[in-house]
Amino acid sequence: MQKLPTWADVVLIPVINLALAFLVSGLVILYIGENPVHALEVMVNGAMGSTRGWGYTLFFATNFIFTGLAVAVAYHASLFNIGGEGQAALGGLGVALVCLAVDWPFWWLALPFAVIGGALFGAAWAAIPAWLNAKRGSHIVITTIMFNFIASALMVYLLVNILKAPGMAPESRGFPDGTNLPTAFDVLGLFGIPFNKFAPLNVAFLVALAACWGVWVLIWRTRLGYEIRAYGKSEPAAVYAGISPVRIIMVTMLISGGLAGLMGVNAVMGEAERLTLDSVQGAGFVGIAVALMGRNHPVGVFLAAVLFGALYQGGIELEFEIPAISREMILVIQALVILFTGALDGMVRTPLERLFVSLRRKGAA
């Protein structure tokens, strides 16, 4: 029997979690002598008060959608892929190599190849932990997290020794103009809708939406998705049904890594237009919170990604507007949101379940 009605699980709990996170954040802001209401105002306004705010919010959200979907897909097979950070970094490398390899004439020609490059490199980076898990039983959490460090070291090596453009910074040369993705300003401009010219939101957002749809189809409509979910619920039962665990682990992790790798299309190709060292910026880890909050459903992942995007953008505004609130303070607020929506989920869930059960009992009596 379901303890909670679906709406409470999907809407009420995240809202309460979020409210709690903001409440505690408010106390922290109060403690350093600032006005929490004003701070909230600045955040909300900064993230959603202008097309510029939205342009950044949805740009960040695009990153989080990719990494969130990566975690969600793996989760359905009961695999906890926390290597999104490394897979996204390698995905960025894949995207960069595609963009640099050819003097692309048009962005729409470059985009599909960049998507393939990003997904392929992300998937390849997930393939080794997946293989170790499938064949040797190494714990996927341990191996994927260690591969984040290896990825980071690899990127430093490549950007310092191989791909480095002349100059001081450890970054590749800029991509050819033919790879520059149209931004929201360009696209919406075609329809006469005004949008901020400098916001980084670009067509990779549409790729992210397509990925959401694709993941939904994969998990709930395809035979592979059926097998992934069956394996995720019970490995012995999957074996009984003739589903090969090795195959499911490999395929799922390749898809998961590929999704994380797609982040490069947005961050590297869409914004930086060159490969830099910090292209991922923790989005791989935010993806875990996004998947958790989004209940591993693409729609939930999308909504949670937008929320975290707003939080990022609002945080940057806050740091800018109220000097007393430092970069570290923003991190604290973001961490509190992750803590309350992710780790402390049960704190709200259990009392709420009791409440609903007793309400129902009264209703039945």
Partner 1 sequence: MTDAPAIELRRISKAFGPVQANKDISLKVMPGTIHGIIGENGAGKSTLMSILYGFYKADSGEILVNGRETPIPDSQAAIKAGIGMVFQHFKLVENFSVLENVVLGAEEGAFLRPTLAKARRHLTELAREYEMNVDPDAKIEDLSVGHQQRVEILKALYREANILILDEPTGVLTPAEADHLFRILRGLKAEGKTIILITHKLREIMEITDTVSVMRRGEMTDTVRTADTSPQDLAERMVGRKVLLRVDKTPAQPGKTVLEVKGLRVTDSQGVERLKGIDLTVRAGEIVGIAGVAGNGQSELLDVLGGIRAATGEITLNGQPLSLSGPGSDARARRRAGITHVPEDRHRLGLILDFKAWENTGFGYQDLPKYCAGLMMDNRALREDTDAKMGRFDVRPHDPNLAAKSFSGGNQQKIVLAREIEADPDLLLIGQPTRGVDIGAIEFIHQRIVELRDAGKAILLVSVELDEIMSLSDRIAVMFDGRIMGERLPAETDETELGLLMAGMEGRAA
List residues near partner 1 by CB under 8 A. Answer: 1, 221-227, 229-230, 233-234, 236-237, 239-244, 360-361, 364-365
What gap in Å lies between CA 116 and CA 99, rounded to an integer?
12
Name the residue nearer to partner 1 (CB basis): 223 or 327: 223
Strand, helix or coil at 273? Answer: coil
Contact between 64 and 286 under an 8 Å Cβ cutoff? The reply is: yes
Q: Tell me how far, at minimum, the Cβ of 79 lies from partner 1, in Å.
A: 17
User: In the chain, what is the straight-line distance between the N-terminal and C-terminal CA atoms, in Å?
Assistant: 18
Name which of 312, 281, 334 is nearest 152 in CA terms: 281
Name the residue nearer to partner 1 (CB basis): 51 or 78: 78
Contact between 131 and 250 under an 8 Å Cβ cutoff? The reply is: yes
Name which of 92, 37, 93 is nearest 63 in CA terms: 92
Residues in the chain: 365
What gap in Å lies between CA 275 and CA 279, rounded to an integer?
7
Name the residue nearer to partner 1 (CB basis): 230 or 310: 230
DSSP code at position 267? I
Q: Tell me how far, at minimum, the Cβ of 236 lies from partner 1, in Å.
A: 6
Q: Tell me how far, at minimum, the Cβ of 135 lies from partner 1, in Å.
A: 14
With helix as H, strand as E and coil as C, how does 225-244 read? HHHHHHHHHCHHHHHHCCCC
Q: Tell me how far, at minimum, the Cβ of 238 lies from partner 1, in Å.
A: 9
Q: Tell me how far, at minimum, the Cβ of 141 lies from partner 1, in Å.
A: 23
Could you count the other beta carbons within 10 Å of the beta carbon of residue 108? 12
Q: Tell me how far, at minimum, the Cβ of 249 lies from partner 1, in Å.
A: 15
Name the residue nearer to partner 1 (CB basis): 131 or 226: 226
Element (H, E) at 319: helix 298-321
Name the residue nearer to partner 1 (CB basis): 38 or 221: 221
In DSSP terms, 283 is beta-bridged to none
Name the residue nearer to partner 1 (CB basis): 136 or 327: 136
Name the residue nearer to partner 1 (CB basis): 164 or 229: 229
One-letter amino acid for residue 41 of the chain: E
Q: Tell me how far, at minimum, the Cβ of 251 lies from partner 1, in Å.
A: 12
